[in-house]
Amino acid sequence: MTTLLKESSRPDDFADVIRRGTSATSSTQAFSARNVTVRIGGNTIVDDVSINGQRGDVVGIIGPNGAGKTTLLKVLAGLLKPTMGSATIGDAAIDEMPVSTRSRRISYVPQSTGLHPFTALEMVLMGRYPHLRRFQIEAEDDTEIAISAMKRMRVDQFIDRRVDTLSGGERQRVLLARALAQHGDVLFVDEPITSLDIKHQLMSLQVLKDEAIKRGVAVCAVLHDLNMAARYCDQLVLMLNGHVVADGEPKDVITEESVHSVFGVHARVEFDPGTKSLKVEVMEPA
């Protein structure tokens, strides 16, 4: 579903790129940003951004390096307080939400994490901590949930392996399993497939898609691969220089014009009957 974009929220050069629509109703809205601006060290990283995501949808945030994607994701996840504006989970303002509630409702997977001497199972079980009382240890149900998540991400063979002995891609899948085990209402993931091979890219995005469909959660992912974004996302948010320049269904956001204007390349964009989604073939730099 597209969101309404303010005229002042994007550069004039992209007036023809923006797609407009109606905002999500409060009953289906999973998360939102309202007029969010983030300034760091005198630099404006995110500039007056308003977006929302619905339950059961996968929302992809796309754009070139330095567009403000990760910063916006951190605001949406409650990890970064905006200079101006606000973010919500459902109808609740994140900054007014108790930490315990926030940790149960919001799952977040960063681009990378430090190397820790925990086993993969111990790492995934950390996703269950928000559901435990103080000093309570994991129950059998928690372990079953964690192992189920590991099987979905195909890392159950690493149950007893230390995370710091795994490859980058294997660690990323363990982190995704931890997020699945958390059973939050919204799952925010930052470049979840960058370190994965093609097989595990497809598998991981399909798992996230299934999580949205079957549990009705909202998934919001920062992605660089336009073909993957078009194939697995219900809604795309295209960013450039801290602005949202397009927000809507993949067919409305990923066009030859927008790819040229935002990414600076010539590309052919057409429907692929095999994947039943858009296919972006990059030709050459503009």
**Candidate from 110-114, 152-156, 191-195, 224-228 with smallest mean pLDDT:** 110-114
Nearest to 180 by CA among 243, 277, 107: 107
What are the tens digits of pLDDT across the range 82-129? 999 999 999 999 999 999 999 999 999 998 877 788 999 999 999 998
Residue at token pair 């030709």: 283
pLDDT above 90 for 227: yes
Would you call 198 helix, strand, or coil by DSSP?
helix
Domain ranges of the chain: 29-285
Residue at token pair 């996968």: 58
The hierarchical CATH code for the domain 29-285 is 3.40.50.300
Q: Output the CA torsion 199→205→206→211 (10° steps).
A: 150
State CA 101 to chain mean position distance: 20
What are the tens digits of pLDDT across the range 232-253? 999 999 999 999 999 999 999 9
pLDDT above 50 for 272: yes
Task: Write down the pLDDT at residue 1.
Answer: 39
What are the tens digits of pLDDT across the range 8-48? 333 444 444 443 333 444 579 999 999 999 999 999 999 99
Task: Write down the pLDDT at residue 6.
Answer: 37
